Amino acid sequence: MIEQDYLKKCLEDIEVKLNWKPSSDWKESDYVRLSKVISETSNISISPHTLKRLFGKIIYKKYYNPQKATKDALAKFLGYSEWSDYVISLNTDKEFKNSPRKTNNKLKVILSIATIILIGAIGTYIFGESESTVANNENEIFEFRLLDSVGTVPYTVSVNYDVSKIKTDSTIIDFGFVHPIAGHQSVVADKSKFRRNFTYQIPGQYEINLRKEGKVLSSKKVLAKSENWETYYFPEVALGNFWIDNKIDIKPNIKDFYYSPKHLDSIGFDTNQVYYLSHRLFKEFNINGDNFELNTSFKSSQDIGGITCYDFILKIICENEINSVKLMEKGCSQFSGMKIGKTILSGDHEDLSSFKFELDKWNDLKIRVENQAATLYINHVKIFDGDYNAKNGDIVGLEIIFKGTGKLDYINIEDLINQRRYNKDF
């Protein structure tokens, strides 16, 4: 037998033990509940996101083989000491050993080889494989793949699909980008055609979803890289609406990545309102988002154009998760927060008074992430130390946001495994 057989049988045993409705009908709340039950039983944290991958709610690969700790948690939930103990029990189970799984696997191998040959004829697919998936238990077969998923803007992505057998005329391809005027960029998949192209002009990591009646059938991620750091201006009411007309041309010999309110006024941006500046870079950093150290230095105050409550937001965009830290001036901790993996802290509900920085001086922020544990320091004082759920994957983007204008001195990141570095002085 192979690991895939053991895992499939384990999930079947978990369904039997739970005696809930079929897993195909589970909703978000069911995965959250199961995550809590397994974590409490095994003393091993397993996230709802991981459970969705295991039970096929989220299409990750044709076969998702989780880390050993996850499999240990599943086995312990079933009453075994660890995963290997569960596997040994299956190998002594005559009914399981004589099941048709092994024969079916031979057929799967043959079909897999044929699929690989076909894929090789049309190119390599990145961020996921070609899929043939059964949707909503209705025996509806569809295909959904990308010819490529990484490029520098302007970047046109080609989506190859076949939804001719899906029993609806409103299957949607959602490109994951919101145009500030045209709105959400999505189209109805034409059953008579098999390709749809879309051009990304704003750098970022996007998720392309194939939807039927509001349900996601399949997802693919796209990395639209930037040539260099870019800066965008937003009025408070339109924060996050990226487009070409709110992009700021980088000044020659710019120091501290600083755009004064006077300069912004001179190039047509209104600083007589609450506004934000976002500095962004998207690229393949080849730095592990679960084992890295980041150091940066920043300043925000009224004198240089900050707007009360003065803040500093850092986002570390990884393949699987968006991590963020929001620091505030003293007294504004309601608006502080942090997200690392699936761990979220919010100043609305928790005491984050330590998530603060000093006005009118340079502040040093250090983030160290190692083996799914994170430690944060501000001005050499530890403000957080704890574990987190989910795997971040590699870092693919950085974003720094100020309310009003702020200054950034440098940002350095080091991979703790391979010592690969990214260093930038502004």
Q: Which pLDDT tens digits describe the chain residue by residue (426 residues)?
A: 567 788 888 999 999 999 898 888 888 888 889 998 998 888 888 888 888 888 888 765 556 777 788 888 999 999 998 888 888 888 776 566 555 544 444 444 434 433 333 333 323 222 233 333 434 444 457 889 998 899 999 999 999 999 998 888 889 999 999 888 888 899 999 989 999 999 999 999 999 999 988 889 999 999 999 999 999 999 988 888 899 999 998 877 789 999 999 999 999 999 999 999 999 999 999 999 999 999 999 999 999 999 989 999 999 999 999 999 999 999 999 999 999 999 999 999 999 999 999 998 999 999 999 988 999 999 999 999 999 988 999 999 999 999 999 999 999 999 999 999 999 999
What single DSSP character describes residue 250? P
Q: What is d(CA 399, CA 251) in angstroms, rounded to the nearest whole number? A: 19
Written as six digits, the tokens of 27 are: 């909703």
**DSSP structure string for 155-224:** EEEEEEEE-TTSS-S-EEEEEEEEETTTEEEEEEPPTT--EEEEEE-S-EEEEEEEEETTEEEEEEEEEE
- Supply angle C-alpha 147, 150, 156, rounded to 5: 65
Q: CA dist 317 to 110, 287, 290, Å?
A: 38, 11, 12
Written as six digits, the tokens of 151 are: 């490029």
Predicted local distance difference test score (pLDDT) of residue 54: 87
Cβ contacts of 29 within 8 Å, gap of 6 or more: none
Predicted local distance difference test score (pLDDT) of residue 332: 95
Cβ contacts of 159 within 8 Å, gap of 6 or more: 144, 145, 146, 173, 195, 196, 197, 198, 208, 220
Closest CA to 325 of 247, 263, 388, 234: 388
CA atoms within 13 A on the CB side of 115: 13
Q: Say if strands 381-387 and 395-403 run parallel, antiparallel, or are unpaired.
A: unpaired
Predicted local distance difference test score (pLDDT) of residue 62: 55
Q: Which amino acid is at 178?
A: V
> 346-355 burial string, b = 16+ CB within 10 Å, else e?
ebeeeebeeb
Distance of CA 308 to the CA centre of its chain: 30
> How much is the pTM?
0.67
Is residue 238 within 8 Å of 270, Cβ to Cβ?
no
Written as six digits, the tokens of 131 are: 């899929």
Classify 292 as helix, strand or coil.
strand
> 184-220 burial string, b = 16+ CB within 10 Å, else e?
ebbeebeeeeeebebebebbbbbebbbbbeeeebbbb
